Amino acid sequence: MSGLTEIEIEYPGDQCLGRLATVNASGRPHVVPVGFLYSPDARTGAR
């Protein structure tokens, strides 16, 4: 069972670029683009 709504589940199917954000020890953000593929049947993704 997913904790996501149907809209949230459908959204990745229309996208091919996401963003991954982390912060360093001083709290400064680091954001990079990330490509992905999404399988709605398995509800998983990979790239």
pLDDT of 3 > 70? The answer is yes
pTM above 0.85, yes or no: no
21 Cβ contact list (under 8 Å, min separation 6): 29, 30, 31
For 24-40, write each residue's pLDDT tens digit. 999 999 988 888 776 66
Q: For the chain, give the mean pLDDT.
A: 78
pLDDT of 47 > 80? The answer is no
The two counts, helices (H) then strands (E), for the chain are 1, 4
Q: Is 14 helix (H, G, I), strand (E, B) or coil?
A: helix
Q: Give the closest residue to 36 by CA, choosing from 4, 5, 11.
A: 11
Average pLDDT over residues 3-14: 79
